[in-house]
Chains A and B, each alone.
Chain A
Amino acid sequence: MDEILSQIFHIGFFAALIRIATPFILATIGELFAERSGVLNLGIEGIMLFGAMSGFTMAYFSNSLWLGVLAAMLTGMLMAILMGFLTVSLGLSQHVSGIGVTLLSTGFAFFFYRLIFGQPSTPPNIKAFTPVGIPVLMDIPWVGPVLFQQAALTYLALLLVPLSAFLLFQTPWGLNLRTVGENPHAADSAGVNVSAMRYQGLMISGALMGAAGAFLVMVQFNAFTFGVISGRGWVCIALVVFGQWGPWKSAAGALLFALIDALQLRLQASSAINLPYQVFLMMPFVLTIVTMTLVSRNARAPSALLKPFRKEER
C-alpha cells in the first residue's frame, strides 16, 4: 500500500492536479457568473465543446495558440448570447433553453469539424502550450514545480479566482450583478438594467467556458476529439452548487474534483488495483452525485435563479 501511495503522491502528481483543475476552474467560475445573475447556463457542455473545436481550428490554421483561445472565447460568448436571447429577452425555460444550446453547439462542433477536416486517418494535431516557469518562484522547492511551472492559461485561471471575488463583492458592477440574481425588481427600481446585467453574466460565462474547452485541446490533449468534454461541463454545474456560488469555494471544489480525477488516472495506470478502467472513469460522476446529495439541501442558490424577469408583469 505504501508503495502505491508513494507512487501517487509525488510532485508530478500535484502539478498534474493543478493542470487537470484548470478547465474546471475556468468553466465553473464562468457558470458562477451566469448563475449569480439569475440564469442557469446549461449550455455549458456544448459551449465547451464548440469552444474547444473552434479554438483548435483557429490554432491549427493560424499557428497561434492565443488566437485559438480568443476564438474559443468568442465562440462561447456567441452561444451565450443565444442563451441570453432565449432566457433573458424571451423569458423561456432556462432548463430547456440550456439543453437546446448544448445540443445546437454540439451539432455545430461536429458539423464544422467534419466540414473543415474531413475524416483523416490520423486526427490533425497542434503543438500544445508548454509550461512556462515563473522565474524565482519556480525554484522554490516543492511549491515551485507544482504551482509555478504551468501553462500560461493555468496562471490565468488561478488569477481568475481572486479577480472574480473582487469583481463580485467589491465593485458596483458585482453588486448590481448579484442583486439582479437575487431580486431583479430591486435592481430595476434602483435603475439597474436587469437584462443587460444578465447578458453580461452570460457572456462572461460563455467566454470562460470556451476558454476551458480551449485548454483541454491545447494543453491537456493536443487534438480535438468528439469526446473531449465528455461530461466535464455537467460536473461544473455541480461544482457551483458545491462552492455555494462563491469563487473561492468553487475553485476549491474544482481542485477537489481534479484530485479525484488525477487519482483515478493514477490508479488506472497502476497495476496494484485490478478493476475495470470504466470503474475509474465512472468515479468522478458518482462522487459528484454524492456531493450534490450532501450539499443541495442547504444550498442557497441565488433567489431569482431560473426566474425570468418581465418588467410589466403586475
Chain B
Amino acid sequence: MHLRLELREHTPLWLNLALPFSAVLATLVLCSGLVALADANVIDAYSKLFLSAVSSRFNMVETFVKAAPLILTGLAVTVAFKAKFWNIGAEGQLLAGAMGAAFVGGIESLPTFSLVPLMIIFSAVCGACWALLPAVLRTRFKVDDVVTTLLLNFVIFYIMTALLDGPWKDPLSGYPDSPDIRMDAEFPILLRATRLHLGVLLSLVAAPLVWLLIRRTTLGFSISVVGENPEAAAYGGIPITRVLIYTALISGALAGLAGAGEVGGLHFQVMAGISPGYGYTGIVIAMLARLNPLGVVPAALFFAIVVTGAEAMSRATGVPVFLADVIQGTALVTMLIAQLFSTYRVRTHLSASE
C-alpha cells in the first residue's frame, strides 16, 4: 500500500475552515499524553490553560494585548511565506522595530504630537531594513534565506544587549534596560482600566489590510505567483527580485510594528527579554492560518491564550509551563500534515496483487 496524491480541482470552504480546527484538536489530544505524564488531570490542566484567559473581562482584554505582537509577526511570516521567502527572522525584525521605537520615543526635541506616529513609522522602517539584508543576500548572492534570517536573529540580539549593557543602559535603574521613553510617547489606552493600547488596534487593522494586499492587488498576485512558481513568473514578466525585495520589506515592517507595540504600549523601554519568541510563534500562527491573513487573528488569539494560560496551568497543576512550546511545535507539524488534505486528495492505493 502506498499514498497517492491527487490535486483537488478546488478546495471547499468548509475544508479550509475544518483543517485548522482538526489540527488543533489533534495537537491537544497528542499533548494530553504529556499532561498525564506530568501526573496532572488532563481536563483540569486544559481547563486552566484555556479558561483563565476568558475568566474575566480584564483577562479577555489582556488576551488581545498578548495577541497583538503575535498577529503582527504572524502576518509578517504570512506575507513572506506566500512568496516562499523563508523569513524565520521576524524575531530579529521585531527587536529592530522595538529598538527603533524606543529610540524615537526617547528623543526630547521631537514635538509631542509627532511622537507616536514617528515611533510607528520608524519601527516599521527598522524592521524592514533588517529583513532587507537577507533578501538582498538571497537575490544577489543566492544565500539561503532560512540560515541568514536565523543567524541575524542572534546578531541583532547581541547588538541589542551590547547597547543595553553599555551606551543605552538606563542610568537611573542601573539594570541592562534602556531608559523609559517619554510619557507623551506612550501609546494611548483605548479602554479604561485595561492595557488595551493603540498597538492592539494597529494589529487588528493590519490583518484585513494584508488580506487586501494579497488578494486584491497586483503586488499580492505577484507574491503568490513568485511563491508558487518562480519560473512561470519570470516568463510572465514578473520581476522576481523586485517582488522578493518588496515582500521582505513588508514582512520586516510588520514584524517591526510588533516591536513598536511592545515598547509604546506595554514596556515603555527595551530590555533583553522583550520578546519571548514572538517571531517563532509567528511561524506557527501563519501556518495554522494557512497563510490567510484573516486567519492569523484567531490563530494568534489561540496562542496568546495558550502562552498566558500555560503559567496559570503550571501554577495550579504542576505541568511544566513549557507545554506551551510543545503545543506550538505539535500544532505546526499537525497543520502541515492537514494542509496536504486541502491541496490534494490523499488516496491510499492498493495494487491488484496486494
Residues of A near any B CB (own CB < 8 A): 42, 46, 82, 86, 89-93, 95-108, 110-111, 114-115, 230-231, 234-235, 237-238, 241, 276, 278-279, 281-282, 285-286, 288-289, 292-293, 296-297, 299, 310-312
Contact = CB atoms under 8 A, between A and B. Distances in A.
B159 interface: yes
Interface stretch (B10-18, B94-102, B146-154, B243-251): B146-154
A237 B146 CA distance: 10
Contact of A296 (B3, B141, B150): B141
B283 A285 contact: no
Contact of B162 (A46, A99, A279): A279
Interface residues of B, number: 50
Given A86-B333, A282-B154, A288-B151, A111 B323 contact: yes
B303 interface: no
A205 B154 CA distance: 24
Contacts of A286: 155
Contacts of A281: 158
A232 to B, nearest CB: 10
A107 B337 contact: no
Contacts of B162: 276, 278-279, 282
B107 interface: no
A100 B339 CA distance: 14
A238 to B, nearest CB: 5
B58 interface: no
Per CB-CB distance, the 6 closest pairs between chain A and chain B, nearest first, are A104-B329, A107-B325, A107-B326, A114-B320, A278-B162, A110-B322
A305 to B, nearest CB: 10
Given A86-B336, A103-B325, A285 B155 contact: yes
A90 B320 contact: no
Given A89-B3, A231-B151, 10 more contacts: A46-B329, A103-B283, A106-B325, A107-B326, A237-B146, A279-B158, A282-B155, A289-B148, A293-B137, A296-B143
Nearest to B38: A115
Contacts of A114: 320-322
Contacts of A230: 154
Contacts of B154: 230-231, 282, 285
A90 B37 CA distance: 29
B144 A111 contact: no
A92 B287 CA distance: 13
Contact of B150 (A89, A97, A115, A234): A234
A151 to B, nearest CB: 27
A292 B147 contact: yes
Contacts of B148: 289, 292
A86 B37 CA distance: 26
A231 B326 CA distance: 19
A28 B141 CA distance: 22
Contacts, number: 140
Contacts of A278: 158-159, 161-162, 165
Given A282-B155, A289-B152, A296 B142 contact: yes
9 contacts: A90-B340, A103-B332, A107-B328, A107-B330, A108-B326, A281-B158, A292-B144, A293-B141, A297-B142
Most-contacted residue by chain B among A82, A238, A299 (CB, 10 A): A238
Interface of B: 2-5, 34, 37-38, 81, 86, 88, 137, 141-144, 146-148, 150-152, 154-155, 158-159, 161-162, 165-166, 280, 283-284, 287, 320-330, 332-333, 336-337, 339-340
A75 to B, nearest CB: 15
A98 B162 CA distance: 31
A92 B155 contact: no
Given A90-B340, A115-B37, A279-B158, A103 B280 contact: yes
A282 B3 contact: no
B250 to A, nearest CB: 19
Contacts of B147: 234, 237-238, 288, 292
Nearest to B323: A111
A157 to B, nearest CB: 22
Contacts of A296: 141-144
Contact of A110 (B141, B320, B330): B320
A102 B147 CA distance: 13
Nearest to A298: B142
Contacts of A46: 329
Nearest to A241: B144
Contacts of B323: 111
B141 A297 contact: yes
Contacts of A235: 151
A299 B141 CA distance: 10
Nearest to A89: B3
Given A90-B337, A111-B325, A95 B332 contact: no
Contacts of B81: 96
Contact of A107 (B137, B329, B339): B329
Contacts of B324: 107
Most-contacted residue by chain A among B4, B5, B320 (CB, 10 A): B320
A111 B326 contact: yes
Nearest to A46: B329
A95 B5 contact: no
Given A104-B330, A299-B142, A96 B336 contact: yes
B158 A282 contact: yes
Contacts of A111: 34, 320, 322-323, 325-326
A229 to B, nearest CB: 11
Contacts of B284: 103
A212 B4 CA distance: 37
Given A100-B336, A282-B155, A293 B287 contact: no
A240 to B, nearest CB: 10
